[in-house]
Amino acid sequence: MPKDFLSVADWSPEELSRILDRARELKELLGKGERPQTLQGRTLAMYFEHPSLRTHVTFEAGMAQLGGHAVFLTSEHIGIGTRESAGDVAQALSRWVDVVVARTRSHALVEELARVATVPVVNALTDLLHPCQAMADLMTVAERKPLSAARIAYVGDGNNVAHSLMLACASLGVELRLATPASHRPAQRVRRRAESLASASGSRIWLGDDPIEAVSGVDFVYTDVWTSMGQEAEAGARKALFRPYQVNDELLAHAPDALVMHDLPAHRGEEITAEVLDGPRSIVFDQAENRLHAQKAVLERLLLPPAKA
């Protein structure tokens, strides 16, 4: 079992399925008012370089619900690269806490923290991957349809969210169709890894530039913002480029039974219309809720012996 949770591709399909099963169990227990104190006395350090609502609250609340404690740290507090090196920070945190969650601009930084740290490191978002989001996404899908039978379309930017969704679907045998402009396809290194995983699982991964072809007949239609954090200078050009990929009633007419997904925050009127996001086919807040349960299951898997997690 890996020490860290940096990418879903690092974990076997069996381990990912076990985490999803536990996430579902934890959600059911919480619904009954039960909060198993499996991480009592454990401490989580959260290092964030990006603003956050869902990731921050769900990790902190999740750790508390499991009986542990979370410490929130920003880049201004720590100064990696100015006050201290990443390696020194990783060594120090390893002597104080049981697990580190890092939300960083650079994927290389979270990899460096994990390489030096002797405690588990969880990737809470980088410029390359967002594995915790993908786990919540597939948990949300599995609540409605067996993963082996689910068909998901992702339309828009081939970004970090698309990367982790692709890797998770490829690993667990889920059909995924991605429609992006040719200039904004998922990164080649991620595509190669997804192809390797899909060959083992039987997953079908389709990439193209036609959003109508991607969504036709699928069960779920997923999108994300066109302009991510750090890309604000490109906002105007991105709006023009991605306009044909907007998730609206016209596009959804080609997927009449599909539910709509978005990792949030959303820009209503850009990548998705307000009517769709706030409409009866939207399950975006179920996705947001499931961040809590999926991440609790990840923390347990990293911190508890296999027989207890």
Residue range 112-131, pLDDT digits in tens: 999 999 999 999 999 999 99
| Mean pLDDT of the 169-181 span | 98
Q: Quick one: pLDDT at residue 245?
A: 98
Confidence class for position 228, pLDDT limits 50, 70, 90? confident
Q: What is the pLDDT of residue 191?
A: 98
Q: Are residues 178 and 119 in the same domain?
A: no
Distance CA 112, CA 38 (A): 29
pLDDT score recorded for residue 235: 81
Contacts of 30 (CB under 8 A, 6+ apart): 65, 293
Q: Are 131 and 107 in contact (CB under 8 A)?
A: no
| Residue 137, domain member (yes or no) | no
| 38 and 111 within one domain | yes
CA atoms of 73 and 34, how far apart (whole Å): 29
The total number of residues shown for the chain amounts to 309
267 and 191 share one domain: yes
Residue 184 lies in a domain: yes
Q: In the structure, what pLDDT confidence band is assigned to residue 307 with cuts at 50, 70 and 90?
A: low
Of 228, 235, 169, nearest in space to 197 by CA: 169
Taking the C-alpha atoms of residue 108 and residue 102, their distance in angstroms, rounded to an integer, is: 12
Confidence of residue 272 (pLDDT cuts 50, 70, 90): very high
pLDDT of residue 31: 98
Non-local (6+) Cβ contacts of 133 within 8 A are 125, 161, 164, 165, 263, 291
Q: Which domain holds residue 35?
A: 8-129+291-302
Give CA–CA dist 243/245, Å, rounded. Answer: 5
Rg (CA), the chain: 19
Report the domain count for the chain. Answer: 2
pLDDT above 80: residue 308 = no
Query: Mean per-residue pLDDT for 299-307?
Result: 89
Q: Which pairing describes strands 121-123 and 69-74: parallel, antiparallel, or unpaired?
A: unpaired
Rounded CA gap, 308 and 181, in Å? 45
Average per-residue pLDDT for the chain: 96
154 and 267, same domain (yes or no): yes
User: What angle in degrees, to the nearest 10, is found between the helix axes of 131-142 and 160-172?
Assistant: 50
Residue 212, domain member (yes or no): yes
Backbone angles phi, psi at 68, to 5 degrees: -100, -170
Q: Are residues 99 and 164 in the same domain?
A: no
Q: How confident is the model at residue 193, as a pLDDT?
A: 98
Q: Is the pLDDT of residue 230 over 80?
A: no
Question: Phi and psi of 111, rounded to 5°?
Answer: -65, -40
Q: What is the pLDDT of residue 229?
A: 67
For residue 259, give the CATH number of its domain.
Answer: 3.40.50.1370
Residue 287 to residues 43, 137, 145, 260, 306: CA-CA distances in angstroms?
26, 6, 14, 10, 27
Task: Give the pLDDT band (50/70/90) at residue 279.
Answer: very high
Q: Are residues 102 and 161 in the same domain?
A: no
